[in-house]
Amino acid sequence: QKEVEQDPGPLSVPEGAIVSLNCTYSNSAFQYFMWYRQYSRKGPELLMYTYSSGNKEDGRFTAQVDKSSKYISLFIRDSQPSDSATYLCAMSAYRDFGNEKLTFGTGTRLTIIP
């Protein structure tokens, strides 16, 4: 079983819809969670970072963490065609341990239909 599971999609939604992207994990030591956005043929860019259970909002994006269920989500409100990309979740057990590695999900490909 993979430590981090993410539905690969593809996911297609109409412009303006609310998008929900999810990851589940099995390692209860994970405390820090990130979402990356990757446009086609580009490197991933950090979108959101959170370490506590609950919601964190940044513009149209909301990251949600439920540590009791080992489940994280990224919500995109008022989705735009420019949101079409692959979204990767990533997580780790520590924030400030020098050799700490990130564990990534495989990514969900999202297409917003105009």
Partner 1 sequence: DVKVTQSSRYLVKRTGEKVFLECVQDMDHENMFWYRQDPGLGLRLIYFSYDVKMKEKGDIPEGYSVSREKKERFSLILESASTNQTSMYLCASRTGLYNEQFFGPGTRLTVL
Residue 94 interacts with partner 1 (CB under 8 A): yes or no? yes
| 29 vs 62: CA distance, rounded Å | 23
Tell me which of 49, 60, 73, 75 binds partner 1, using CB under 8 A: 49
How far is 101 from 105, CA to CA, in rounded Å?
13
Instruction: Tell me if 14 contacts partner 1 by CB under 8 A.
Output: no
Residue 79 CB, shortest distance to partner 1, in Å, is 23
- What is the number of other CB atoms lying within 10 angstroms of the CB of residue 46? 10
Binding of residue 96 to partner 1 (CB under 8 A): yes
CA 80 to chain centre: 17
Which parts of this chain interact with partner 1 (CB under 8 A)?
8, 32, 34, 36, 41-46, 49, 88, 90, 92, 94-102, 104-107
